[in-house]
Amino acid sequence: MFEYLDMEIDERTGVNRIRLDRAERRNALSGALVAELKEALALAEADARVRVVGIGGRGPDFCAGADLAEVQASVEEGVMASLREAEALGELFTLLRKLSKPVVAIVHGRALAGGCGLATACDLVLAAESARFGYPEVRLGFVPAMVTAILRRNLGEKRAFELMALGDTIDAAEASRLGLVNRVCADAEFEAESAAFLAELAGRSASALALTKKLLYGTEGQSFEAAVATGARVNAVARMTDDCQAGIRRFLDRGKREKGGKREKGGKREKGEGA
């Protein structure tokens, strides 16, 4: 179905694993690969079997960034060709936020430039201990332009500017300390731990995850009062979902059973209880 991606759905867990498959080019983001990623995400959104999406890479690296041969070709075509190429990647980053289902980056090896942007545009990032992250564009006289929007939100202005202005590559532990990575796993356990994490996340309420994601990103830029008001509306919607109503019933039923068990253990019944 795809030339530059592998995609498989575990119907038992609801996890959709997407893997970039240009290992010979360190999974560089060509126009074709970006287009396939957008198509794969659209399919995941429409597929009722899918609860969580994981994005990883084949070969030794997650993603080395933009395909520089294509960048050079677009430069030769002119500024409008460059703009179209950049906008296509920007649409991918935007789509990751708009998707109602959680998207988790599964990062091993190097995640550089646009590849680091792809990882951090996901909702969550899991990294192997040996993974490396960075925005080295400045070393080529280039600018990590679209990822600026992501970095400012993840790190704040000063940390973001330092990473972009120096172009240094950092290890997974430092990326976690800065806030780019959620969890770091030992290399030997990385595949098993990331699979377990994806399955655990997929086990959460799909409606609750979708509303949480929409609320988190939807309140950006709102005043405190407006954000609280938005939260109140989402709270009301969440109460009406099947998942929430079933969860409340389970909680109340469990409380009744526990209360009944304590009374039975104590050997006393209040007037009117039981036969």
pTM: 0.90
Residue 189 designated active-site: no
Per-residue pLDDT tens digits for 225-248? 989 999 999 999 989 899 898 889
Least confident of 44-48, 89-93, 192-196, 243-247: 243-247
Domains and CATH numbers, the chain: 5-202 (3.90.226.10), 206-266 (1.10.12)
Say what the pLDDT of residue 174 is. 97
Kindly report the number of other CB atoms within 10 A of residue 217's CB atom. Answer: 12
Higher pLDDT, 238 or 11: 11
Say what the pLDDT of residue 91 is. 96
Band of pLDDT at residue 270, cut at 50, 70 and 90: very low
Say what the pLDDT of residue 274 is. 42
Say what the pLDDT of residue 263 is. 63
User: Among the options 39, 70, 129, 137, which is catalytic?
Assistant: 137
Bridge partner list, 77: none
Per-residue pLDDT tens digits for 71-90? 888 888 888 888 888 899 99
* Gap between the Cα atoms of 131 and 187, Å rounded: 9
